[in-house]
Chain A
Amino acid sequence: MALEVDIEKRLGAFHLRAAFCCDRETLGILGPSGSGKSLTLKCIAGIERPDRGHIALDGQVLFDSQRKIDLPPQARRVGCLFQSYALFPGMTVRQNLLCALHAERDRKTRAARVDAMLKLLQLRDAADLRPEALSGGQAQRTALGRILLNAPDLMMLDEPFSALDAHLRLRLQMEMKDLLAGFGRSVLLVTHDRDEAYRMCDRLGVMSAGRMTTVKDTKALFADPETRAAAALTGCKNIADAVKTGPREVFVPAWNARLVTQAPVRDGLVAVGIRAHSFKPDEALNRFPVRILKEMEEPFAWVSAFRFEGQAPDAPALWWRYPRECRPTETPEALGVAPGEVLLLY
């Protein structure tokens, strides 16, 4: 019982290709804006029609270009939480929730279920407010309640926290995680925020320029992003072209640096990535003389821009981040990277 997607769609010069499965888990789609994440969700919901491909949910075919199947959104049993929550204008929270129970004939059952949902989502005080009077969190919970009452087989969340203030985000992410666990069915979550993706998702797929690549367990993806796009999206600050020079050795021309790696280097290597916090002043391996250019203080860390002494003049500076309490007394003259922290990108 799962969602299976394999679709293709052209919009002008943009070409969307996405293929993945989602089986009773929270699958995140991580990608920059304009990479086709929302379009993918719309294709699954039936709002946009793919040019070709196949979408099935729990064995039921929702879309199949060859068999000419294209169910309307109403028949797909797919709930979607839109970016701006898309509450019905002019209706109160209670009326918005009631709309989701249109199939329930009995008036009393409807009212009771809405009341229970209002209680669950802590919306009882806001029940008679209209959308424009709601806070971001209340609007989000109303939209979520509408979907939960409708009890779809798949829930899709499109950048659910992007419209919220930062201090609310963390709390609502925790609440949402509990609610999704109670939902117990497949969930697709679209985001460009790697922290959100890491916190909320069991598995992650990376989307870049319309292409869905590397779908794997969230922790595995952060440990080994495999591609340039995935490395950048998981927050890797230093990425440069590289060539294989040995079974466990690569050369990075832009940094004029030969790096040893822990994992064997496969053929077809295109680049390496080094996370900003992977550089260590006391690491003996992959150690190179550096020149610190600038420093900036963060709440709990320091960030430095630096160059390798042998670096090509037109190559961009690198980033080094370390916790405040690890600030060295003297500016280091060389930095090293443990071989296991060199990310191999193909």
Chain B
Amino acid sequence: MTDLFPLYNSLRIAAISGVIVFFTGIAAAWYASKLPRTVKGLLDVLLTLPLVLPPTVCGYFLLRVFGARRPLGRLLLHWGVRLAMHWTGGVVAAVVVAFPLMYRTARGAFESFDERPAWAAQTLGLSNTWIFWHVRMRACRQGILAGGVLAFARALGEYGATSMLIGYTPGRTATVATTVYQLWRTDDERGAFFWVMVNLAISAVVLLSVNLLESRQRTGRSLWRWR
């Protein structure tokens, strides 16, 4: 019987970081979409950097910040929060790497939003909060959900930054991705193949749901009934 800990660990890291990225990504995208052009450009570079940097470079920076001998890492340790060589560090790594995907898709959705329904709602006396949730988020929903799924998938498949920050300890920090590499390195070809298949299955499900979301968006049918 194969030890399924890597799957469990990967899923919990991806789920927690997915939720964090989903909301911070939307908030950052909303904030950025209202900024003037030049400031937006700068912020964009900063927030998108992890998408183009090699994940190991992200891991390097994370270690410099959260490593046990660094000031912030030490402060966190003092409060009992351990990130390096601990599965919670995997959440941090996944958040950093997956964030740009959520941020960019959500920002694209917000920026392509036709403002006129929002104006119409304002002139009808509807509050700005109501407009955000019922008009804006509704119109952008499919794009935002697709971004969320992509970010979740990226978090699930995170390898580089994760292996730098939390390494590979069987039963403690091992994820699906790091397990494949570890088993392959130690000549356990059957084990590696098993985890590769697990990975493929997850990716297939994720991509199918993205496609489903996109086709719903095209045909204009909504995914969930309203009221």
Chain B proximity of A133: nearest CB distance (Å): 9
Kindly state the interface size class of chain A when it binds its partner: 20 to 34
Chain A proximity of B47: nearest CB distance (Å): 28
Tell me the number of A-to-B contacts counted with CB atoms below 8 Å: 76
| A143 x B125 contact (CB < 8 A) | no
| B123 x A88 contact (CB < 8 A) | no
- Which residues of B lie under 8 Å from residue A84 when comparing CB positions? 114, 116
Interface residues of B in 110-132 (CB under 8 A from A): 114, 116-117, 119-127, 130
Bound complex: CA of A42 vs CA of B124, how far in Å? 14
1/0 per position for A96-110, CB-CB distance to B under 8 A? 000110110000000
Whether B79 sits at the interface, judged by CB under 8 Å, is: no
| A95 x B227 contact (CB < 8 A) | yes
- Which residues of B lie under 8 Å from residue A59 when comparing CB positions? none
Whether A72 sits at the interface, judged by CB under 8 Å, is: yes
Cβ-closest chain A residue relative to B135: A88
1/0 per position for A70-88, CB-CB distance to B under 8 A? 0011111111101110111
Secondary structure of the A contact surface, majority rule:
loop
- Which residues of B lie under 8 Å from residue A88 when comparing CB positions? 117, 120-121, 134-135, 138
Bound complex: CA of A78 vs CA of B124, how far in Å? 8
- Taking a contact as CB atoms closer than 8 A, the residue among A47, A89, A90, A100 that contacts B124 in the complex is A100
Whether A27 sits at the interface, judged by CB under 8 Å, is: no
Chain B proximity of A41: nearest CB distance (Å): 10
| B125 x A102 contact (CB < 8 A) | yes
Whether B36 sits at the interface, judged by CB under 8 Å, is: no
| A73 x B127 contact (CB < 8 A) | no
Size of B's binding interface in residues, CB under 8 A: 21
| A102 x B119 contact (CB < 8 A) | no
1/0 per position for B9-50, CB-CB distance to A under 8 A? 000000000000000000000000000000000000000000
Bound complex: CA of A79 vs CA of B123, how far in Å? 6
- Which residues of B lie under 8 Å from residue A143 when comparing CB positions? 120
- Which residues of A lie under 8 Å from residue B226 when comparing CB positions? 90-91, 95
- Which residues of B lie under 8 Å from residue A78 when comparing CB positions? 123
Secondary structure of the B contact surface, majority rule:
helix
| B122 x A86 contact (CB < 8 A) | no
Given contacts A90-B138, A90-B226, A95-B226, contact A73 B116 (CB under 8 A): no
Whether B80 sits at the interface, judged by CB under 8 Å, is: no
| B139 x A99 contact (CB < 8 A) | no
| A103 x B135 contact (CB < 8 A) | no
Chain A proximity of B75: nearest CB distance (Å): 44
Bound complex: CA of A45 vs CA of B134, how far in Å? 21
Cβ-closest chain B residue relative to A87: B117
| B134 x A74 contact (CB < 8 A) | no
Bound complex: CA of A103 vs CA of B123, how far in Å? 13
Chain A proximity of B98: nearest CB distance (Å): 28
| A99 x B119 contact (CB < 8 A) | no
Whether B222 sits at the interface, judged by CB under 8 Å, is: yes
Cβ-closest chain B residue relative to A101: B124
| B125 x A45 contact (CB < 8 A) | no
Cβ-closest chain A residue relative to B113: A89
1/0 per position for A146-186, CB-CB distance to B under 8 A? 11001010000000000000000000000000000000000
- Which residues of B lie under 8 Å from residue A89 when comparing CB positions? 117, 135, 138-139
Whether A280 sits at the interface, judged by CB under 8 Å, is: no
Given contacts A89-B139, A130-B220, A132-B220, contact A74 B116 (CB under 8 A): no
Whether A273 sits at the interface, judged by CB under 8 Å, is: no
Whether A46 sits at the interface, judged by CB under 8 Å, is: yes
- Which residues of A lie under 8 Å from residue B135 when comparing CB positions? 88-89
- Which residues of A lie under 8 Å from residue B134 when comparing CB positions? 88, 99
Among B114, B125, B227, which residue has the most Cβ atoms of chain A within 10 A? B125
Cβ-closest chain B residue relative to A147: B124
Chain A proximity of B173: nearest CB distance (Å): 43
Bound complex: CA of A76 vs CA of B128, how far in Å? 15
Among A75, A90, A103, which residue has the most Cβ atoms of chain B within 10 A? A90
| B120 x A86 contact (CB < 8 A) | yes
Chain B proximity of A68: nearest CB distance (Å): 21
Bound complex: CA of A42 vs CA of B123, how far in Å? 10
Bound complex: CA of A147 vs CA of B117, how far in Å? 13
1/0 per position for A286-328, CB-CB distance to B under 8 A? 0000000000000000000000000000000000000000000
Instruction: Mark A residues whose CB is within 8 Å of B.
Output: 42, 45-47, 72-80, 82-84, 86-91, 95, 99-100, 102-103, 130, 132, 143, 146-147, 150, 152
Instruction: Mark B residues whose CB is within 8 Å of A.
Output: 114, 116-117, 119-127, 130, 134-135, 138-139, 220, 222, 226-227
Since A86-B117, A89-B117 are in contact, a sample of 4 more A-B pairs with Cβ atoms closer than 8 Å, ordered by chain A residue number, is A42-B119, A45-B123, A82-B120, A86-B116
28 A-B pairs with CB atoms under 8 Å apart are: A42-B119, A45-B122, A47-B119, A73-B119, A73-B122, A73-B123, A74-B125, A75-B125, A76-B123, A77-B125, A79-B123, A80-B123, A82-B119, A82-B120, A84-B116, A86-B114, A86-B120, A88-B135, A89-B135, A89-B139, A90-B226, A91-B226, A99-B134, A102-B125, A102-B130, A103-B125, A146-B124, A150-B125
